[in-house]
Amino acid sequence: MRDRVNGTSPQPVPSQLFRSVMGSFPTGVTVITTVAETGGPVGMTVNAITSVSLEPPQLLICLAKSRYTASAIQSCGRFAVNFLSNDQKEVAGIFASNAEQKFSTVGYHEGVLDLPLINGSLAIAECEVSNVIDAGDHLIFIGEVVSGRATDGMPLVFFRRNYGIWKAA
C-alpha cells in the first residue's frame, strides 16, 4: 500500500515486533501429526490453526517451510490436529522441541487415516490435504476434515510465549 502523501510504501514491521504483536493473541495449543516417508510418526506443536469452511469441513494450519513436519505432510497428503487439554503442557513442550524421538515418551494410537493421534487430547481432527499455499517462509495447508472427535475438558492455551489454562468467566 502506498503512502498517499509522499508516494512511498511503508516498510514491514521488524520480526521481533511482529512476534510480540501476534503473541498478544491467546491461542489454543495443538500438535500436528503425520507419517514420514519412512513410515514413522512425525509431529510438532502449532498454534497457527483456524477453521475455514463448514461445507465441506475444512481447517488450515501454517507451518514453517524449514520444518520436517511440513515436508512430511506434503509427501503424506494428510495430517491430524491434536487439540491439547490443559494437562498436556509437557506434551506441548516435547513437540515444540528439536528432540528426535518425540513419540517415545508420549502415548498415541492410529486413527482412521493411519495417523498418530495423541492420547488424552481434548479434540482431534484427521485431515486430507486439499490445498497448499506458499506464504512467505511458511506453507499453509488446507485440510478437509474426514474424521474427528471432541471430549469434555479444558484447553491448554498459549499467550505471550507462555502456556496457561483457560478459566471460564
Domain range for 35 is 15-152
User: Mean pLDDT throughout 158-165?
Assistant: 75
Largest pairwise CA distance in the chain: 59
Nearest alpha carbon to residue 43 among 88, 89, 80, 75: 80
Kindly state the cell numbers that stand for 36.
514420514
Model pTM? 0.88
- Residue 113 within a domain: yes
Give the CATH number, domain containing residue 96: 2.30.110.10
- Give the span between the Cα atoms of 25 and 84, in whole angstroms: 18
How many structural domains are present in the chain?
1
Count CA within 13 A, CB hemisphere, residue 55: 0
The residues with which 156 forms a beta bridge, in sequence order, are 165
- Residue 126 within a domain: yes
- Residue 148 within a domain: yes
- Residue 8 within a domain: no
Query: What does the pLDDT look like over 123-152, one tens digit per residue?
Result: 999 999 999 999 999 999 999 999 999 999
Query: What does the pLDDT look like over 102-123, one tens digit per residue?
Result: 999 999 999 999 999 999 999 9
